[in-house]
Structure 1
Amino acid sequence: MNLAEHYHKLYTESVAKISAGNYETDHLIDSDTDQRFGITLVIRPDVATKGKIQQFLTEAKAIEPDQYYYQNSDIHITLISIISCYDGFDLKYIHVEDYIQLIQQVLARHKRFKIQFKGLTASPSCILVQGFLTDTLNEIRDDLRAGFKNSYLQQSIDKRYAIQTAHSTVIRFRSELARVDALLSLIEKYRDFDFGTFEVRQVELVYNDWYQREKFVKKLHQFSLS
């Protein structure tokens, strides 16, 4: 996959929809009855990179204060979704140690790698920071796919889609946009902004809700890359 082309196509199509009012709002963000949970391997950007993301988000909040903005604690890249969030999933249904052991065996074969966060793209429901990755990340994903496929462990890898990017969602639309043009102008301003390049040294296995909110996330294990 050519990531630059993929992000550009997504941006062009989504901005046209948002501009025309054909965007999607997520009403479950503020719901007290949302019980969608799963387990995910995530990557956390470094402090400097998250600081630059918050710089953009501060400007966006001034334009659209009622949307949902990711806090630093929640910003992440999905390395792979092992059990995609579904209503009613609970850790009591799995043996976490078996997952840790399989993942550790896979990660032991891989070294640290870098991700660059540069520019923004969009979907009809959210704004994303574009992540550009080395081959290592997708090699790890392929190894994990193979490992879980050959195991008895519950998993739903690639059931929704086969992840190939390294983006991070930073804004979700939860209500009608009040100043669409101003928001899109700001996104265009940051279209090619360099948010930073960071080395991935650790990967976290987490039990998480749909939005990866810190108050719901439970860290199950942290893996170190050599």
Structure 2
Amino acid sequence: MNLKDHYNALYTESIQKISNDDYQIDHLIDSPLDKRFGITLIIRPSIEVKNKIQEFLNKIKVIEPNQYYYKNSDIHITVMSIISCYDGFQLKDINLSEYIKLINQSLNCNIDLEISFKGITASPSCLMVQGFMNNNSLNIIRNNLRENFKNTTLEQSIDKRYSIQTAHSTVCRFSKKLNQKSEFLKSIEHFRNYDFGSFKVKNLELVYNDWYQKEKHVKRLFDFSI
């Protein structure tokens, strides 16, 4: 996949939809009734990169203060959604040590991964920072995970929603109607190719999480050094 072309196509299509009021508002973001949980393997960007993302978010918050903006503690890149969030999932229902063992096996390769965050893209429901990898290490890990989990009876939902191939990070979700839509989109366009910086990936985290990776709900299960 050519990531630049993919992000560009996504941006063009999504901005057009948002312009036409064809965007999706997430009504569950602040709901105490949302009980969707799962387990995910994630990468956390460096604090320097996250602080640059907050500078961008602070600019658009002035225009649309009522949308849902990710805190530094919640910003992440999904390596793989092992068990996608669903209502009723509990950690006690799985053998966690088997998952850790299998992920360790999947990381048994030469990994030298650096991710550059450059530019903004969008979907009809959110804004994302574009991530670019310096090599194919991340997709090798993902393919190892797919193959290894496919050969077990462990509960998993890998690729059930879509086959993940990017290194983006969601930073804003639409939780209310856009009141200053034109100005909002103009500000996003200003950051379309903004350089948020790069970071070397030193570890992956396996976490128990809600749909939004909110710090108050996330439980770190294991830290994999690479």
TM over 0.5, shorter chain: yes
1:35 is aligned to: 35
Match runs of 1:70-219 below 5 Å: 70-133=70-133, 134-219=135-220
Deviation at 1:110, TM superposition (A): 3.3
Quick one: which amino acid aligns to residue 174 of structure 2? Answer: F
For the residues of structure 1 that align with 2:3 and 2:70, how far apart are their CA atoms?
Answer: 23
Quick one: which amino acid aligns to residue 160 of structure 1? Answer: R
- SS state of the match for residue 115, structure 2? strand
Counterpart contact for 1:69–1:172, Cα < 8 Å? yes
Deviation at 1:153, TM superposition (A): 1.0
Quick one: which amino acid aligns to residue 185 of structure 1? Answer: K
Counterpart contact for 1:116–1:198, Cα < 8 Å? yes
For the residues of structure 2 that align with 1:37 and 1:46, how far apart are their CA atoms?
Answer: 25
Quick one: which amino acid aligns to residue 215 of structure 2? Answer: E
What is the aligned residue count?
225
Deviation at 1:19, TM superposition (A): 0.9
Counterpart contact for 1:110–1:140, Cα < 8 Å? no
Residue identity (%): 60
Quick one: which amino acid aligns to residue 180 of structure 1? Answer: K
- SS state of the match for residue 29, structure 1? coil
Normalised by the size of structure 2, how large is the TM-score?
0.98
For the residues of structure 2 that align with 1:15 and 1:111, how far apart are their CA atoms?
Answer: 35
For the residues of structure 2 that align with 1:149 and 1:142, how far apart are their CA atoms?
Answer: 11
1:222 is aligned to: 223
Segments of structure 2 that go 5 or more residues without pairing to the other structure are none
For the residues of structure 2 that align with 1:132 and 1:183, how far apart are their CA atoms?
Answer: 25
- SS state of the match for residue 78, structure 1? strand
Deviation at 1:76, TM superposition (A): 0.2
- SS state of the match for residue 114, structure 2? strand
Normalised by the size of structure 1, how large is the TM-score?
0.98
Segments of structure 1 that go 5 or more residues without pairing to the other structure are none
For the residues of structure 1 that align with 2:70 and 2:179, how far apart are their CA atoms?
Answer: 19
